[in-house]
Each structure stands twice: as C-alpha cells, then as structure tokens.
Structure 1
Amino acid sequence: MNGSDFNREWEDGLTPRMRQLFAETAERHSLHLEWNETAPVEVACDYPAQPGLDFRLWLTLSGDEFVCGGEGWSAHIFPVDSDRNWQLTVAVVDGLVTGEARIVLYRWIGRSRPYWTVLQLRSDDGWTNVSTGLGCALIPVSRSTIVRNGYQDQVARLTVAWGSIIAWLLLIIGGYLLFLL
C-alpha cells in the first residue's frame, strides 16, 4: 500500500469515525445530539445548551478538517487524518463537554463578536493552545473572555492588543513604502 492509498483509506474512514465520536460523546455525557444531514459537509451535529452543557456546541467534519464552534466562535484542527490530530480531536470534543478544554475569545471595545479565538486543552502546567484564530482589532484595546463548560465565564480587564498595534504599524509602514516606490 503506497502513501496515497493509506491517506485515502484514512479519509474514507473519517466520516464514520467522526460520527461515532460525536454520538459516543453525547451518550457518555447524557447529552442530546441533533444531526444536521443537510449541511454541506461530511458530518455535522449540534449539542444544544442543556443540563451538562452550558453553551450550544456544533461539530463538523469537512473533508479532513474538524471544525467546532459556538455562539460567535469557531476553531479548527487540520488535517484530522493523522493519529496525532485524531487524538487531539477526540480530546477536544470530550474536553469541551468536561471542562478540560476552553475557548478564549478576544473582543475589541464595542464589539460582541470576537476578532480572535483560541481553543485550549488543559495540560500538566496549565493550558496548551490547540487552535488559534486570526484577526486584528481595529481598536487596539481588547478584553478576553474564557468560556469553559461547568464554569462561569471569566472576563479579563482591558488590555492593549499588541499584535494589532504591530499589524497596524506594518500596514502603515508598508503603505508608506509603496507610496514612495
């Protein structure tokens, strides 16, 4: 079996494995699960907010990309067709229900939707980033909110969004240099 045959076999097996993961997680934690058979992806389901889950959580498999999300956020693991990323996906799905995974949402002042999302798993020494979004705050002052099942949301103080300041400076400098050329 060559490498492309192995990858094709793995990808063909992803859809039933992902469906089984979502169903078994719901069963293990006594959660209600709703399948979305009309979504334009291989597998899509929704765990509504319910006893045992503080927030709505949707999970999908699109090709070989796992996507999870909730109110105003999403996170990705790509590609899922390796043992390492599959195990990471299993840990994330279970962790989002048990509280062993959390979402950190960064919002700039005056906005309810985050400009940046970080999905983290608990590790021995704190939290490890699994998926980080990409974004830039138009106003370089932000506030983060930690969303974790079984815990009250934690809202941080206002902080300077240094990454956004650097991005704006690079954009301004780049524009200036283009103007000079």
Structure 2
Amino acid sequence: MQQVRVTDLKDLGFLDNLPNLRAAYLAGPGDLDLAALRAVPVETLELKLRSVDLTPLAGHAELRSLTLISKDSVDLAPLRAIPHLWALDVSAASVADIDVIAELPRLRYLEARQDQWYELWQRDDLPPFSAVGVHPGPPRRDWPGRACWKTVQGRPPQRHTGRYTTG
C-alpha cells in the first residue's frame, strides 16, 4: 500500500509516480486542483488547505475516508457523488452546507464540531451512523505530532515508518 504525506503543496503532478496510492495527507498554503486524484485509487484522504474545491472528487470510485481542514468555507455537495464514502471529518473545516451530510446514505463515521452537530442532530433523515465524534471546538491537528519518523528509500519513492509515543 502506498501512502504519502506532502506539505507546502502547490500541485499534484507527483501523483503520476504513485499509481497505487491508497492514503494521502496533503497540505498547502492555498487552493489545490484535486483533479489528479481521480486517476489514483486513494481510499483515505486528508486535505489541509486554505480553500478546498471538492468538485474534482465527485464520482471517485475508491475514496472511503475524507478529512477536511480548511479556513475557507467548503461546499460538501460533490460528496453526494462519491459512492463509497464511509467516514467524514469536518471538525476542523468551515462548512457551507452541513445539511449535505444527511444526503450521504453510506456514511457511518462522522467527526464534527459541537456547533456543526447542533445543526444536524435534530434531523430525522441522518444516515445510520456507527460513530459520531463531537468536538467542543476545532481540534488541533498538527503533524508529525510526537512521532519519531524515519525515511526509508526504495520503491515506492519514499516510505515513512515510525513509532508513536505518548507523553
């Protein structure tokens, strides 16, 4: 399984070299054209961008889990066309249309802020969630977060291995 974590990202041209990418953690200072992600079988995607346009992800056949971290408001409407989206984390994103979550019938896991959840919880048409995580405020999401990482060269171009330590 190929995984990649890229920060200070300006474009996704490097994806041509990762045809089997399954997990991507992408961060950058601005907007990013996500169209290149449609050509890779990414299942887990974390986007930490100033603004996010999810339109290029509509219809992505493999995407299962999506985490959004964004200062600008994100339109969730394109998520309706992602057939296997199972997990969604919007707790660190500004969301324009939180009601779209009620239109994602396969969604089983949701992370949201308390104010976002208050907008949703009174609805009687929510998906049958297996778990909902409610944060009192935007969670702090830093990387590498107390991990001791070592880079190993080889195929795929870079593989990161590490150990998570507490305390």
Identify whether the pair has TM-score above 0.5, normalized to the shorter chain. no
As a proportion of its length, which structure holds more helix?
Answer: 1
